[in-house]
């Protein structure tokens, strides 16, 4: 029985619960046991019991693991940061409420890089997450816990957030599917902010269908988030088996930092796409190569303001001092991690009088150019495909002393973040025994189209997940 539950896709489990063939409470207990037995460091908290989620909902009682930075009323929600250790929010994030209303109980809170700042989950204040494919390697980040839990089979599916690649890159490194929706498609209310103009909630799953099902209930305008929008078409469950007539624009395969093994697997997937009827052509995104630079100005700038509220005055940790300024400085020094402090410094500098135009202003101009690059590209192709990460999962500690090398993990994912457009990463093969991700990108609100293409490719690729025990 348990073997069977482990092999079921989440969407199939939901169908069986709704049909009355599977007990939602047994399903919850099964996954709770799996989460409790997690050995990857994916979980920071595991729920005791489901709430009153309706089994008849589209998510049919299948529990969902939630990245720590989603506020859940009364449940520890620290965004992976010591400064919020023990903080229990007085309210619940809209994304989590929507999942629960659709029938998915919260299974647990997953580990992440502190305030989503990182590409390896080594920046968590509560210890690193290990890649289920190789415990010596990172799962990617920042949503490393949500990705590793699904890959390791300690969660049927999960949600994370993507600011510059924080869903797609860990999905790639863990060999699962991860979707970053269009900016504004999912409410950010209750998502502990990193960079407000980039942060976006999205799902992880073992199949494209699972991810599409979660996404379909996540999207929609929320009166509590002024930047959220109604999804014009909604998200349909994918059904495509062919790619006839689909024009794929390929970007980034000639880049220097791209591992040959990764390039090879991506090329193989492109060959399969052609067999399914797609055409492929290389395209230029002239400014996308500058995305990393722009991203690492804009995101820290916004973060420097978003993290100002952690001042020891109202909630969270405080280091006592006699004078106000000392209290601020000691609290923020003692309880923020090194990478968070680094980005606050970078962002504060970039916004400072006399530097604003040179840094923040220039970065915003680059951002506009990248938006225009994609707009031009989508006049000639239907979708853009790229590697998700230039490398497979790297070793723990390998890049922690070299922030720039770490930042380059986001080379293929930051352009879409800056452009606010949807992108999904699917596993497309192994290199050195580790998963490689293929990124499929579409124009704003084209989630259904990229998921359909991903679905057709998924079948052709036939990727087998990490061997589960």
Partner 1 sequence: MTEVRAYEPVIGIEIHVQLRTRTKMFCSCENRFGAEPNTLTCPVCLAHPGTLPVTNAEAVHLALMIGMAFGCEVPERSIFHRKNYFYPDSPKGYQISQYDHPLAVRGRLGDVRIHRVHMEEDAAKLVHAGSSGRIHGAERSVVDFNRAGTPLVEIVTEPDLRSAAQAAEFGRLLQATLRRMGVSDVNMEEGSLRMDANVSIRPAGEATLGTKTELKNMNSFRFLERGITAEIERQEAILHADGQIEQETLHFDPRSGSLTSLRSKEEAHDYRYFPEPDLVPIAPTPEMLERARSALPELPAERAERFERDLGVPAAAARMLAFRAELGDLLEAALAADGADARALANWVTNEVAARIGDSDPGDTRLEPAALAALVGMVEAGDVPRSAAKDVLGVLVDEGGDPREIVASRGLGAAGSDELAEIVDRAIAGNADAVEKIRAGNDKAIGAVVGAVMREAKGRADGGEVQRMIRERIGS
Give catalytic residue positions: 67, 142, 166
Residues near 117 by Cβ (< 8 Å), separated by ≥ 6? 123, 142, 194, 303, 339, 340, 343
The nearest distance, CB 313 to partner 1, in angstroms, is 5
* Site stretch for partner 1 (CB under 8 A), options 43-51, 71-79, 143-151, 254-262: 71-79
The answer to whether 225 contacts partner 1 (rule: CB under 8 A) is yes
The two structure tokens encoding residue 466: 């990490």
The two structure tokens encoding residue 305: 């303001």
Nearer to partner 1, 37 or 361 (CB): 361
- Select from 308, 345, 358, 376 the one that contacts partner 1 (CB under 8 A): 308
* Site stretch for partner 1 (CB under 8 A), options 85-93, 204-212, 251-259, 284-292: 85-93
Cα 102 from Cα 96, distance rounded (Å): 10
- Select from 22, 27, 35, 79 the one that contacts partner 1 (CB under 8 A): 79
Residues near 118 by Cβ (< 8 Å), separated by ≥ 6? 141, 142, 339, 406
Cα 100 from Cα 96, distance rounded (Å): 6
Which residues, 404 to 433, sit near partner 1 by CB under 8 A? none
Which residues, 175 to 204, sit near partner 1 by CB under 8 A? 188-193, 195-197
| Whole-Å CA distances, 426 to 42, 201, 211, 392 | 20, 17, 11, 13
- Select from 12, 85, 101, 311 the one that contacts partner 1 (CB under 8 A): 311
The nearest distance, CB 29 to partner 1, in angstroms, is 30
Strands 279-282 and 247-250: parallel
Cα 107 from Cα 48, distance rounded (Å): 8
The two structure tokens encoding residue 344: 């606050």
| Count, residues near partner 1 per rule CB under 8 A | 45
- Select from 26, 135, 309, 402 the one that contacts partner 1 (CB under 8 A): 309
- Select from 5, 237, 305, 371 the one that contacts partner 1 (CB under 8 A): 305
Phi and psi dihedrals of 426, rounded to 5? Answer: -125, 150
The answer to whether 53 contacts partner 1 (rule: CB under 8 A) is no
Nearer to partner 1, 190 or 205 (CB): 190
Phi and psi dihedrals of 53, rounded to 5? Answer: -65, 135
The nearest distance, CB 350 to partner 1, in angstroms, is 9
Q: Which residues pair with 281 in a beta bridge?
A: 249
Question: Tokens 């009153």 appear where?
Answer: 52
Binding site for partner 1 (CB under 8 A): 69-71, 77, 79, 84, 87, 89-91, 93, 188-193, 195-197, 223-227, 301-302, 304-305, 307-309, 311, 313-315, 323-324, 328, 348, 351-353, 356, 360
């Amino acid at each position: 029985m348990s073997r069977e539950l482990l092999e079921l896709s989440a969407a199939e489990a939901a169908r069986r619960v709704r049909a009355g063939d599977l007990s939602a409470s047994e399903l919850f207990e099964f996954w709770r046991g799996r989460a409790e037995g997690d050995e990857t460091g994916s979980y920071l908290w595991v729920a005791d019991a489901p709430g009153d989620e309706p089994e008849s909902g589209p998510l049919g009682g299948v529990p969902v693991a939630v990245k720590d930075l989603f506020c859940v009323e009364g449940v520890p929600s620290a965004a992976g940061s010591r400064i919020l250790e023990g903080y229990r929010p007085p309210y619940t994030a809209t994304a989590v409420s929507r999942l629960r209303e659709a029938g998915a109980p919260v299974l647990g809170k997953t580990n992440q890089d502190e305030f989503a700042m990182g590409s390896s989950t080594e920046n968590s204040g509560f210890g690193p997450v290990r890649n289920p494919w190789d415990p010596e390697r990172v799962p990617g980040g920042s949503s490393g816990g949500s990705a590793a839990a699904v890959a390791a089979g300690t969660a049927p599916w999960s949600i994370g957030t993507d600011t510059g690649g924080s869903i797609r890159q860990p999905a790639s490194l863990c060999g699962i599917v991860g979707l970053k929706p269009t900016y504004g498609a999912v409410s950010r209310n209750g998502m502990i902010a990193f960079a407000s103009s980039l942060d976006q909630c999205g799902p992880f799953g073992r199949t494209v269908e699972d991810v599409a099902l979660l996404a379909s209930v996540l999207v929609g305008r929320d009166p509590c988030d002024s930047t959220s929008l109604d999804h014009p078409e909604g998200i349909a469950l994918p059904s495509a088996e062919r790619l006839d007539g689909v024009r794929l624009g390929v970007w980034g395969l000639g880049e220097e930092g791209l591992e040959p093994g990764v390039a090879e697997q991506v090329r193989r997937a492109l060959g399969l796409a052609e067999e399914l009827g797609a055409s492929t052509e290389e395209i230029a995104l002239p400014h996308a190569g500058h995305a990393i630079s722009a991203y690492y100005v804009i995101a820290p700038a916004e973060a420097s303001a978003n993290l100002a509220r952690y001042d020891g005055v109202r909630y969270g940790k405080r280091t006592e001092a006699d004078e106000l300024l000392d209290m601020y400085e000691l609290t923020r020094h003692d309880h923020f991690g090194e990478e968070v402090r680094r980005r606050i410094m970078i962002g504060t500098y970039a916004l400072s009088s006399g530097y604003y135009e040179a840094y923040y202003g220039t970065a915003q101009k680059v951002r506009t150019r990248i938006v225009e690059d994609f707009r031009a590209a989508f006049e000639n192709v239907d979708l853009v495909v790229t590697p998700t990460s230039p490398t497979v999962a790297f070793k723990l500690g390998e890049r922690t002393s070299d922030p720039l090398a770490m930042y380059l993990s986001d080379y293929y994912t930051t352009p879409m973040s800056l452009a606010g457009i949807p992108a999904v990463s699917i596993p497309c093969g192994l290199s050195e025994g580790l998963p490689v991700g293929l990124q499929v990108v579409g124009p704003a609100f084209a989630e259904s189209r990229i998921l359909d293409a991903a679905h057709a490719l998924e079948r052709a690729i036939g990727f087998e997940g990490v061997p589960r025990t």
